[in-house]
Structure 1
């Protein structure tokens, strides 16, 4: 359905008991001021109006399931200009009861095709639906200390892919970080996230191969800079204090993008 048609329908009224239960289960949702809390609730209702949930393998989409996903999905766009327009390239959200085994195919530099299975807790498809494991969505209520959140991760990918490329750099606004052109803005972003990614990747490799100290963030972020962006977003939104201690420069960069009115 066209976006302007969806906008004609009123957003659902979220029952207070259900909303409070979601906030109690995911405490990181309430680390804001009162105006943020009201905005979160309003945008979650609009998200539920605009998106379609589908259960896979007999999984039943209850109000609890849909509300838990909606409340966490709107966190990354809570203060972004355009709000939910960042998620305008898709409608469907597919929820599996648990992790999914996905068949992958890649080609190496020599042109040899490799096929393998990968266990995934979620997946965001460019201009397509978002897939989530309910088991891992629920785990988000317990994993904020380690900066893990599958919902934020997959919707961060959607933000990254808005310009058609998953490269760890979302579409940046005009005059981002005091820059005067899109090229300067991208350079300012890259100058911060690239060294953070390389340092994280090196620490992950040392930990895995030589028994060094493991990084705080999920090691999956070392797979690529786009995965690092998504993993970093998880931690930024569910445990900003620890994220700021571990990645102060990156935290300031994210502040400038995700909370421009406070930058």
Structure 2
């Protein structure tokens, strides 16, 4: 009841309920949520309804986006929010969905030379501070078909959104009062440094080498593993896995 009251207080208006048939269809297709116990599944439904109520979905590039896919995205975005409630969705409104990979043009400034260059990055997901969450629908669908492979684009981008609640992403999201910020920073930094050394030496790593790009990517990639391949994360970085258990709650993968 406390969860529902916090939802109503946050959204300030009645949240339209999710249609029962549509909900059951989505649950049956999403192994990540089928494994939740009844109270967490009930609260996930409340959070997903609030997500759908407050976020605007935009289908771009010819993407075919219906109620089922909007709900699937909302449910997976709500998984990392389960221990944190509606405040996890603060500060942004739009969800942009492309049919597949999309290109983003970036500017790079080289300080020693003063030269600015443009490049196009091909992505499957992106999250902007106080801006949209951007997703490849093909990869959302792939995550449904292969739920335990360590990858989940919606969870990855939602981890960035949680991180950005405290400002620019740096791998240190706002933590519950039960968690120690210094311990988080030291543990995650050690995990990031270890992976960076392994990648730099050309070693094969259990954690996706992309996590060595930056501390914020390390947090997002290990968040994906927490939900979809926690046993491998516990083997590769047990202290990081322990922190993510405390931050997100038990993994639906067991």
Paired residues for 1:94-173 under 5 Å: 94-110=96-112, 111-173=114-176
- 1:5 and 1:61, CA in 2 relative to 1: closer, same or farther beyond 3 A? farther
Q: What is the deviation of 1:24? A: 2.7
Q: What is the deviation of 1:256? A: 2.2
- C-alpha distance in 2, partners of 1:99/1:72? 19
Paired residues for 1:208-227 under 5 Å: 212=203, 214-227=204-217
Could you tell me whether the CA contact under 8 Å between 1:6 and 1:50 is conserved in 2? no
With normalisation by structure 2, the TM-score equals 0.88
- 1:201 and 1:145, CA in 2 relative to 1: closer, same or farther beyond 3 A? farther
Among 35, 41, 63, the alignment partner of 1:37 is: 41
Could you tell me whether the CA contact under 8 Å between 1:10 and 1:49 is conserved in 2? no
* Unaligned segments of structure 1, at least 5 residues: 178-184
Q: Number of matched residues?
A: 243
* Unaligned segments of structure 2, at least 5 residues: 1-6
* Counterpart for residue 180 of structure 1: none
- C-alpha distance in 2, partners of 1:158/1:24? 27
With normalisation by structure 1, the TM-score equals 0.85
Paired residues for 1:51-66 under 5 Å: 51-66=55-70
Q: What is the deviation of 1:175? A: 4.9
- C-alpha distance in 1, partners of 2:8/2:208? 38
1:48 matched to 2:56? The reply is: no
* Counterpart for residue 182 of structure 1: none
- 1:157 and 1:16, CA in 2 relative to 1: closer, same or farther beyond 3 A? same
Q: What is the deviation of 1:109? A: 4.1
Among 18, 22, 28, the alignment partner of 1:18 is: 22
1:243 matched to 2:243? The reply is: no
- Deviation readout 1:84-114 (Å, 9 max, x if unpaired): 2122101111111111011111223413323
- C-alpha distance in 1, partners of 2:29/2:212? 29
Q: What is the deviation of 1:8? A: 3.6
- Deviation readout 1:167-199 (Å, 9 max, x if unpaired): 10012233524xxxxxxx2x2111110111111
- C-alpha distance in 2, partners of 1:35/1:42? 11
Judge which range, 187-196 or 24-33, deviates more.
Answer: 24-33
- C-alpha distance in 1, partners of 2:9/2:238? 42
